Structure 1
């Protein structure tokens, strides 16, 4: 006998929710969109819409889980309320504004006996798991990551992203970190960082990072939100057996002259994992990429650059 679909309430109805979450939920027969919550959006036709988490939770036993797409600065309170009500919680990346609040959410989920899922959508790009498998037994000599995109294209008018806790260029940069921490066989640690802050913003627009893995192999990141024209989401890992490259954000893998390319199923993969975690009664709340971002803000040198207006 098949299990009943898991009823999802989608919280936060911005661009990422509409572009990625709604299609992924609709495409999974094990899930159903039961409600939306946003103080500003009218929601989705034919689906119950609420203006606050309080109103959503007061609706009773109409959903099983929430997917939180709200800005990270307000995500903790929403997640904590849902967990207290016995709901499973899917956290968009980054899983929180701070490491300490995610640690508390893990404790709350365990105490409530529900699933907490810290999602990293770039880890579900088509080339990531094949890259991880190929690198598993290789000596890593060095890795270089170029992650440059145009914030005006991908985050138009999203003021929260420039505020304290909004991460700035690390909103996309943490995607690169999530891939690298998944595919490299050893942990990486920060050595130095330079952060470029626009004079009128509280979050960086660019960053240069120098890290090493636990065997001493250098890993460097070039992150920039001012890229125009073609966008760059590229990872190159030099090994004793040749160079592996991931391009297009992890969608295309090239190694030994062979190219692996597949369709974009990042968010479909995320929701398959969320459903599997709920069925198994376990959580997955890895914060390794956020730990590295925290290290960058803790130790990086700050450099002021020209003002930025989007």
Structure 2
């Protein structure tokens, strides 16, 4: 089968670090065009905007959007209006409302829309979900701490409205927990710590409860130095399940469980290729809904100003 032609919009750090290698490794997909401010890549057509790319490359089979979430809705709507299936980097949008509109637009047009959550494809996530399906959950603890200066160097937009602040990495944890727990959960309390010179939180403590009363707690920090922490602990009637290193390592009742090799973004593009073949969509807003609830319900505490080095 001929590889599907992909156009990618937004050639920033995440696109270069993750999307480009994953696309290059997928025989079913071929990156033929990139678009965005200063977007340029050897051997690939470059355009200043999505509009220019769509006009010059009507042969594109699908579009991947790697822009910041604040501008993603307009671009996705434009691509869908042009008849192109769309893959959205996480989070799928700045608001739940716009994600819902995109899902309706894609369904009406009969086009694939893929709201991707890369952390759900970490190798320990699927076996964790399978094991937890038959367990009674007593307590869940999320500890997700990383250094914004390392992962988003100089990216001021991440602390602007729609930038999400610490929820940019924190939503990865929420995407895993919403995938592995057998019961849904909802927010009861939140504390959002916002730098005096910023609009989005740099740390957050979230307290959820599942529908059977089990607590689900999250401690998020965007100023972690040294080793980064991406861990989830689930206390059950059969012992503790632990997902560490972002879901790449799994331990159950003190025993390490063999899992497959890491490859979140290759798995994302394999999933996108499957969706394109079937014409189906995959749009789960649950992780974004939890972030929205935190912003709606959470108490805000002003903390020291933050400046990039």
The TM-score, its normalising length taken from structure 2, stands at 0.98
Output the CA distance in 2 between the equivalents of 1:161 and 1:54.
25
Is 1:232–2:229 an aligned residue pair? yes
Q: Indicate conservation of the 8 Å contact 1:193/1:299, yes or no.
A: yes
Q: CA RMSD in A?
A: 0.8
Output the CA distance in 2 between the equivalents of 1:228 and 1:11.
31
1:136-190 CA distance string (max 9 Å, x none)? 0100000101000011000001111010011000000000000000000000100
Question: Matched residue pairs, number?
Answer: 307
Output the CA distance in 2 between the equivalents of 1:18 and 1:189.
35
Unaligned stretches of 5+ residues in structure 1: none
Map of 2:62 onto structure 1: 65
Q: Name which of 90, 94, 99 aligns with 2:91.
A: 94
Map of 1:117 onto structure 2: 114
Q: Name which of 206, 210, 221 aligns with 2:203.
A: 206
- SS of residue matched to 1:307: coil
Unaligned stretches of 5+ residues in structure 2: none
Output the CA distance in 2 between the equivalents of 1:226 and 1:53.
34
The TM-score, its normalising length taken from structure 1, stands at 0.98
Map of 2:292 onto structure 1: 294
Map of 1:9 onto structure 2: 7
Output the CA distance in 1 between the equivalents of 2:154 and 2:6.
28
Output the CA distance in 1 between the equivalents of 2:198 and 2:38.
25
Map of 1:308 onto structure 2: 306
Is 1:242–2:239 an aligned residue pair? yes
- SS of residue matched to 1:94: coil
Map of 1:30 onto structure 2: 28
- SS of residue matched to 1:295: helix
- SS of residue matched to 1:181: helix
Q: Describe how 1:89-168 pairs up with structure 2 within 5 A.
A: 89-168=86-165
Is 1:220–2:217 an aligned residue pair? yes
Map of 2:191 onto structure 1: 194
Q: Indicate conservation of the 8 Å contact 1:189/1:292, yes or no.
A: yes
1:232-291 CA distance string (max 9 Å, x none)? 000000000000000000000001313334422100010000010110011001000000
Q: Indicate conservation of the 8 Å contact 1:34/1:62, yes or no.
A: no
